[in-house]
Amino acid sequence: LKDQFDNLDKHTQWGIDFLEKYAKFVKERIEIEQNYAKQLRNLVKKYCPKRSPKDEEPRFTSCIAFFNILNELNDYAGQREVVAEEMGHRVYGELMRYSHDLKTERKMHLQEGRKAQQYLDMCWKQMDNSKKKFERECREAEKAQQSYERLDNDTNATKADVEKAKQQLNLRTHMADENKNEYAAQLQNFNGEQHKHYYIVIPQIYKQLQEMDERRTIKLSECYKGFADSERKVIPIISKCLEGMILAAKSVDEHRDSQLVIDCFKSGFEPPGDFPFEDYSQNIYRTISDGTISTPKQEGMRIDSKTTVGKAKGKLWLFGKKPKPQSPPLTPTSLYTSSTPNGSQYPIFSIEPVHYCMSDIKTGKPRIPSFRSLKRGWSVKMGPALEDFSHLPPEQRRKKLQQRIDELNRELQKETDQKDALIKMKDVYEKNPQMGDPSSLQPKLTETMSNMDRLRMEIHKNEAWLSEVEGKVAARSDRRHSSDINHLVTQGRESPEGSYTDDANQEVRGPPQQHAHPNEFDDEFEDDDPLPAIGHCKAIYPFDGHNEGTLAMKEGEMLYIIEEDKGDGWTRARRHNGEEGYVPTSYIDVTLEKNSKGA
């Protein structure tokens, strides 16, 4: 490694860069822990109950357990803050201080190495100069000797010229000898300095750099250990927090909660008793043979109807509303006697009992519910789900398409933000090439643009489907408003907006009976009259009808149509035995008849 000074320079610089890179990693981990703890505390604060009076505090075990879990979660967030603080103090702070010291020490060692190299280069230059000077003087001496020998052999040369040439030769020879001695001294000095440089100075500097790099490695190892110890120190407390959550979950007692509900809503009122018998006929209809007048005592024993009704209304019912009165049996209250001229009596039924008897007969036959609780958006498994949700009813299809469009818009926004970030990063790389290669971002930028184009096409396609569905819903609404009022059904029928109405005032009823039974809760109950048939149909395909509210049918079976398709793909039909339900419109061949009710 004696001649690898530049490589060691690069290696030590890489070591410092790696140390700073790890310090940056620890800093980002600390920020994550701090943000995580902050978000946990905000979550706990959001779901913690507000300060309330003591009588309004939650008493249910499930609520108490949830609030205990929130407290444990708050403590868990505190431990995450402890982890962040420990990492910042033991790891990140130590790394930043050591990095600064390491840079200073590396700079000092590199300066010493450069000085030693510069001194050696200077010695070599001095030696090289003396060598060149010695070489030049030797050539001059050779020229002087050749000149002297030529004059000495020349018989025509004077003695003065020969002496002059001899003196010049001696001078050049003397200067050559001096330069030779100087060159020898410089050479000896350079060899000594070179030996000292490569065997003493440079190895010492390299050893110091090696020790510095080893200390950096040891410091990284200690920081790795401290990074893990920061997490390990809080594990016992975090385990206690988790154990507290488990204990809170085990403390939930469903029987205690039920008892609290019972104790909270228990009124203490006695259930309503039986209605007393009110005989209005004892003083009105009497036989011919009875000529006496009722005594005042008997009149006093009559029950005042106003008082009885007032007491009945003053009682509290269990669930806040008076239950639907059952069809009363035929009692003396619902009939009266008529006298003939010969004194015989026979019972005459009033219109009111007949009305209740007919209601009992009608409710005795099996019928389909009014579908008040049945949603139009049921899922009938008739095949695999389609991309445009065409297998769903219009309203459900519209919701699904709107949800998909919203999701695609969010994805498009993410891709747009990513594209903007890539463009900014590319500009930074172009201005500062040392930070990265701008061309390396081009594939990712191209992929992002392709994803954006694909998402725009998907959004356009789904918006087209949504417009189609909304157009169908609007057309169905117009058709509903323009339909004949005689085709409207009772409670449970779908309103023009696509929902079911529970208002009994919208029902189409026949003329009221003269002695209809008054009931203040009539709008809460269904009319049991069967719907009139408006046509018939033939099943083209079989249908299982496993879902609630649907009607199973066989291929070729004939059914009555009691409600035509409202644009959602379902038609309401009835069998000959009176069973009703919805069947897919695409499975039947419908024939509407104006006078099909009689059939």
The reported pLDDT for the residue numbered 522 is 44
Total Cβ atoms within 10 A of residue 362: 13
Cα–Cα distance measured from residue 37 to residue 32, given in angstroms and rounded to the nearest whole number: 8
Cα–Cα distance measured from residue 347 to residue 258, given in angstroms and rounded to the nearest whole number: 53
The reported pLDDT for the residue numbered 252 is 92
The reported pLDDT for the residue numbered 35 is 96
Q: What confidence tier does 479 reach under pLDDT thresholds 50, 70, 90?
A: low
The reported pLDDT for the residue numbered 83 is 94
The residue extents of the domains of the chain are 4-260, 394-475, 535-592
Token reading at 153? 């052999």
Our separate counts of H helices and E strands in the chain read 12, 7
pLDDT tens, residue by residue, 98-152 = 999 999 999 999 999 899 889 999 999 999 999 999 999 898 888 888 888 888 8
> Which residues are within 8 A (CB) of 324 and not within 5 positions of it... i.e. 6 or more apart?
521, 524, 525
Q: Give the CATH number of domain 535-592; options: 2.40.30.20, 2.30.30.40, 3.40.50.2300, 2.40.160.60.
A: 2.30.30.40
Q: Is 492 left (phi over 0), alpha (psi -120 to 50) or beta?
A: left
Does residue 299 carry a pLDDT above 60? no
Whether 493 and 500 have beta carbons less than 8 Å apart is answered as yes
Task: Count how many Cα atoms sit within 13 Å of the Cα of residue 77 in the half-sphere of its side chain.
Answer: 18
Parallel/antiparallel/unpaired status of strands 345-349 and 535-539: unpaired
SS3 at position 349 = strand
pLDDT tens, residue by residue, 430-451 = 888 888 888 888 899 899 999 9
The reported pLDDT for the residue numbered 399 is 72
Which residues, listed in sequence order, are joined to residue 346 by a DSSP beta bridge? Answer: 338
DSSP element (H, E) containing 192: helix 159-196
The reported pLDDT for the residue numbered 326 is 42
Cα–Cα distance measured from residue 536 to residue 564, given in angstroms and rounded to the nearest whole number: 10
pLDDT tens, residue by residue, 269-290 = 567 888 888 877 777 655 544 4
The reported pLDDT for the residue numbered 48 is 86
Q: What confidence tier does 378 reach under pLDDT thresholds 50, 70, 90?
A: very low
Question: Which residue would you say has higher pLDDT here, 493 or 479?
Answer: 479
Percent of the chain whose pLDDT exceeds 90: 34
- Measured over the CA atoms of residue 412, residue 418, residue 421 and residue 422, the dihedral's sign is negative
Alpha-carbon separation of residue 65 from 197, 250, 301, 379 (angstroms):
77, 8, 61, 37
Token reading at 392? 């769903």
Helices 442-482 and 394-431 sit at what angle, rounded to 10 degrees?
160
Does residue 518 carry a pLDDT above 80? no
The reported pLDDT for the residue numbered 395 is 66
DSSP element (H, E) containing 248: helix 235-250
Closest C-alpha to 551, from 360, 400, 367: 367
Cα–Cα distance measured from residue 528 to residue 368, given in angstroms and rounded to the nearest whole number: 10
Does residue 264 carry a pLDDT above 80? no
Strand residue runs (E) in 319-449 = 335-339, 345-349
Cα–Cα distance measured from residue 237 to residue 335, given in angstroms and rounded to the nearest whole number: 82
Whether 419 and 455 have beta carbons less than 8 Å apart is answered as no
Does residue 57 carry a pLDDT above 60? no
Alpha-carbon separation of residue 390 from 79, 185, 312, 397 (angstroms):
52, 103, 55, 7
Does residue 474 carry a pLDDT above 80? no
Amino acid identity of 62? Answer: S
pLDDT tens, residue by residue, 568-582 = 888 999 988 888 999
SS3 at position 268 = coil
Question: Which residue would you say has higher pLDDT here, 377 or 450?
Answer: 450
Does residue 381 carry a pLDDT above 50? no
SS3 at position 369 = coil
Question: Which residue would you say has higher pLDDT here, 88 or 276?
Answer: 88
The reported pLDDT for the residue numbered 439 is 86
The average pLDDT across 4-11 equals: 88
Does residue 250 carry a pLDDT above 90? yes
Highest mean pLDDT of the ranges 47-56, 319-328, 363-372: 47-56
Does residue 492 carry a pLDDT above 60? no
Whether 4-260 shares its CATH topology with 535-592 is answered no
Whether 329 and 280 have beta carbons less than 8 Å apart is answered as no
Question: Which residue would you say has higher pLDDT here, 262 or 113?
Answer: 113
CA 500 to chain centre: 33
Total Cβ atoms within 10 A of residue 479: 12
Closest C-alpha to 226, from 90, 320, 377, 328: 90
The average pLDDT across 188-200 equals: 90
Whether 40 and 77 have beta carbons less than 8 Å apart is answered as yes
Percent of the chain whose pLDDT exceeds 70: 68
The reported pLDDT for the residue numbered 11 is 93
Q: What confidence tier does 213 reach under pLDDT thresholds 50, 70, 90?
A: very high
Whether 472 and 396 have beta carbons less than 8 Å apart is answered as no
Phi and psi (nearest 5°) for 589? -110, 110
Cα–Cα distance measured from residue 343 to residue 453, given in angstroms and rounded to the nearest whole number: 99
The reported pLDDT for the residue numbered 309 is 38
The reported pLDDT for the residue numbered 365 is 38
Specify the CATH number of the domain 4-260: 1.20.1270.60
Q: What confidence tier does 56 reach under pLDDT thresholds 50, 70, 90?
A: low
Total Cβ atoms within 10 A of residue 444: 14
The average pLDDT across 31-47 equals: 94
| Averaged pLDDT score across all residues of the chain | 75
CA angle 570-574-575, nearest 5°?
130
- C-alpha dihedral (245, 247, 248, 253), degrees to nearest 10: 150
The average pLDDT across 376-385 equals: 41
pLDDT tens, residue by residue, 307-327 = 333 433 344 444 444 444 444
Question: Which residue would you say has higher pLDDT here, 277 or 338?
Answer: 277
Does residue 540 carry a pLDDT above 80? yes
Alpha-carbon separation of residue 553 from 54, 375, 556, 558, 572 (angstroms):
62, 21, 9, 9, 12
Residue owning tokens 């190895």: 203
